[in-house]
C-alpha cells in the first residue's frame, strides 16, 4: 500500500513540476512576444500601477503637444495677418499724405479713393482670417462664424471678448489669438491720450496738424478750446466756456496749453475754434470711412478745403494709432510663440524622463529572457523525460 502511495505522490509531483515549468515557459514566451517584463499586473503590482500613471502622463504630454500645435498655427496666422494689415496701414498713411496736397486734381482724388476702398475691403477680409480648420482667428471663443460683418454700411464685430488660455505643458498655459475687438476695434484716437478737432463752423485756413501731451503730465484730462480772436491772437476756454488764458500765436508755431502741445498751420479767422478733449476710440474701418469721406468732400471754398485738411490730419493720426495697435498685437503674439517654444522644450524633457523610467521599469532584457527561456525549455524537456520513464517503470511493475 505504501509503495502505491509513494508512486502516486511522485507522479503528482512530476505533473505539478511540469505544469509549473510549462507556465513559466509560457510566461517567458509572452514577455518575449510583448517585449515587456510586466505581462499582467500580478507580475509586479507596484510597477504595473506606476507604469499606468506614467502612461497617462505621456498621453497628457501628447495632448498638450497637439494643443500647442493648434495654437501655434493660429498665432502664426495672426502674425502673418497683422503684418499684412500693418503694411496696408503704411500704404494708407502714404495715400493720406498724398491726399493732403491741396493741388490734387479730381482725377487723382478718385484714384486715391478707389485704392482706399480696396484697402478697406482688404482689411475686412484679413480681419475674417481663418486658421485653416474652419475656425476664425479673431472671433475670440465665438469663432465658428466670421467675426466681422458689414451691416448698413458699417463694420460690426460679432465675436466675443474672450482670449482662450491653452494648456501646452504641465502647469503651463499660453494665450490664443487676440479677439478682433482688441485689434481692429476700440483703437485710441489722437495721440492715444488726447485728441483735437477743428470746429465745424471755422471759416479760416487753420489746420490742426499735431496734438500731443507735452510730457509734463500737467494735463488733467479736462476738455478745453482754443478760440482765435484775431489771426494771431487766441483765448483758451474751459469746458464750461470760461476764458482761462489768452495769448498770441503765429501760424505754424506750437502752442502749449494745460500740458497739451498743439500745432496749427494756416491763418485762422476770428471765431475759429479748435477743441481739445480726451482721446476717444474708433475702429480701423471707421477710420478708413472717415478718410474716404474727407477725400470725397467738396473743397470749393477756403473753409471747405481747411475742413478737409483737418479731417485728413485727424485720420492720419488715427492711422498712426492703428499701426501702433498692430505692432503691439504682434508683440503680444510673439511672446506667446516664444512661450510655446519653451513649453516644447519642457515637454520633450519630461517625455524623455518618463520614457526612460518606463523603459527601466517595463522593458524586457531580451538576452536574459532568451537565456531563461532556453533554460526553462531544457528543464521542461528533462522533466518530461523523467516523467515518461516513471510511467514506463510503473507499467512494467504492474505487469510483473
Angle between helical axes of 302-362 and 45-99 (0-180°, round to 10): 160
| Number of domains the chain is built from | 2
Are residues 171 and 298 part of one domain? yes
Per-residue pLDDT tens digits for 22-57? 666 666 666 666 666 565 555 566 666 777 888 899
Domain-ending residue, one of 241, 261, 279: 279
Are residues 234 and 85 part of one domain? no
Mean pLDDT of 250-256: 91
Per-residue pLDDT tens digits for 283-330? 999 999 999 999 999 988 999 999 999 999 999 999 999 999 999 999
Are residues 349 and 213 part of one domain? no
Are residues 80 and 222 part of one domain? no
Domain-ending residue, one of 279, 314, 347: 279
Domain membership flag for residue 31: no
Bridging pattern class, strands 165-169 and 187-188? unpaired
Number of helices followed by number of strands (H, E) in the chain: 7, 14
Domain membership flag for residue 375: no
Domain that holds residue 260: 190-279
- Give the span between the Cα atoms of 314 and 286, in whole angstroms: 12
Angle between helical axes of 366-399 and 2-34 (0-180°, round to 10): 160
CB atoms within 10 A of CB 21: 19
Are residues 299 and 358 part of one domain? yes
Are residues 207 and 166 part of one domain? no
At 397 the pLDDT is: 55
- Give the span between the Cα atoms of 267 and 278, in whole angstroms: 26
Q: Is the pLDDT of residue 3 over 50?
A: no
Are the beta carbons of 320 and 209 closer than 8 angstroms? no
Are residues 263 and 201 part of one domain? yes
Domain-ending residue, one of 241, 257, 279: 279
At 130 the pLDDT is: 97
At 268 the pLDDT is: 95
Domain membership flag for residue 381: no
Q: What is the pTM of this model?
A: 0.80
Are residues 250 and 195 part of one domain? yes
Mean pLDDT of 74-98: 97
| Closest to 272 measured CA to CA, from 238, 228, 241 | 228
Are residues 268 and 147 part of one domain? no
Domain membership flag for residue 103: yes
| 172: CATH | 1.20.1330.10
Domain membership flag for residue 56: yes
Are residues 223 and 125 part of one domain? no
Mean pLDDT of 349-376: 72
Residue with cell 529572457: 369
Task: For residue 394, count CB atoms less than 10 angstroms from its CB and return exposed for 0-12, middle for 13-18, buried for 19 or more.
Answer: middle
Are residues 92 and 233 part of one domain? no
- Give the span between the Cα atoms of 254 and 40, in whole angstroms: 85
Amino acid at each position: 500500500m505504501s509503495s502505491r502511495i509513494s508512486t502516486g505522490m511522485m507522479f503528482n509531483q512530476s505533473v505539478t513540476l511540469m505544469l509549473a515549468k510549462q507556465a513559466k515557459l509560457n510566461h517567458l514566451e509572452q514577455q518575449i512576444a510583448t517585449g515587456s517584463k510586466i505581462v499582467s499586473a500580478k507580475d509586479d503590482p507596484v510597477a504595473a500601477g506606476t507604469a499606468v500613471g506614467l502612461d497617462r502622463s505621456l498621453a497628457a504630454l501628447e495632448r498638450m503637444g497637439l494643443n500647442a500645435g493648434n495654437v501655434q498655427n493660429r498665432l502664426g496666422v495672426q502674425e502673418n495677418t497683422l503684418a499684412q494689415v500693418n503694411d496696408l496701414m503704411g500704404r494708407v498713411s502714404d495715400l493720406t499724405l498724398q491726399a493732403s496736397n491741396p493741388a490734387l486734381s479730381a482725377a487723382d482724388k478718385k484714384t486715391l479713393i478707389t485704392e482706399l476702398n480696396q484697402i478697406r475691403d482688404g482689411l475686412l477680409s484679413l480681419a475674417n482670417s481663418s486658421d485653416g480648420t474652419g475656425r476664425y482667428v479673431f472671433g475670440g471663443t465665438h469663432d465658428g462664424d466670421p467675426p466681422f460683418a458689414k451691416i448698413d454700411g458699417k463694420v460690426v464685430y460679432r465675436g466675443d471678448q474672450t482670449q482662450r488660455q491653452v494648456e501646452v505643458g504641465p502647469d503651463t498655459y499660453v494665450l490664443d489669438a487676440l479677439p478682433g475687438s482688441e485689434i481692429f476695434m476700440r483703437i485710441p484716437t489722437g495721440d492715444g491720450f488726447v485728441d483735437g478737432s477743428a470746429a465745424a463752423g471755422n471759416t479760416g485756413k487753420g489746420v490742426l496738424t499735431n496734438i500731443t501731451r507735452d510730457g509734463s503730465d500737467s494735463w488733467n484730462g479736462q476738455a478745453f478750446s482754443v478760440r482765435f480772436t484775431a489771426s494771431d491772437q487766441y483765448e483758451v476756454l474751459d469746458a464750461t466756456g470760461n476764458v482761462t488764458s489768452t495769448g498770441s500765436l503765429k501760424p505754424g508755431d506750437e502752442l502749449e496749453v494745460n500740458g497739451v502741445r498743439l500745432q496749427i498751420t494756416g491763418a485762422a479767422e476770428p471765431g475759429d475754434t479748435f477743441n481739445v478733449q480726451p482721446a476717444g476710440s474708433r475702429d480701423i474701418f471707421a477710420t478708413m470711412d472717415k478718410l474716404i469721406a474727407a477725400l470725397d468732400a467738396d473743397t470749393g471754398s477756403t473753409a471747405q478745403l481747411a475742413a478737409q485738411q483737418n479731417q485728413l490730419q485727424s485720420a492720419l493720426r488715427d492711422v498712426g494709432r492703428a499701426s501702433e495697435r498692430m505692432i503691439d498685437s504682434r508683440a503680444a503674439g510673439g511672446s506667446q510663440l516664444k512661450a510655446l517654444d519653451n513649453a516644447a522644450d519642457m515637454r520633450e524633457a519630461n517625455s524623455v524622463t518618463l520614457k526612460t523610467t518606463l523603459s527601466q521599469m517595463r522593458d524586457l532584457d531580451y538576452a536574459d529572457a532568451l537565456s531563461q527561456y532556453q533554460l526553462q525549455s531544457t528543464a521542461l524537456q528533462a522533466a518530461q523525460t523523467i516523467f515518461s520513464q516513471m510511467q514506463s517503470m510503473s507499467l512494467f511493475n504492474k505487469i510483473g
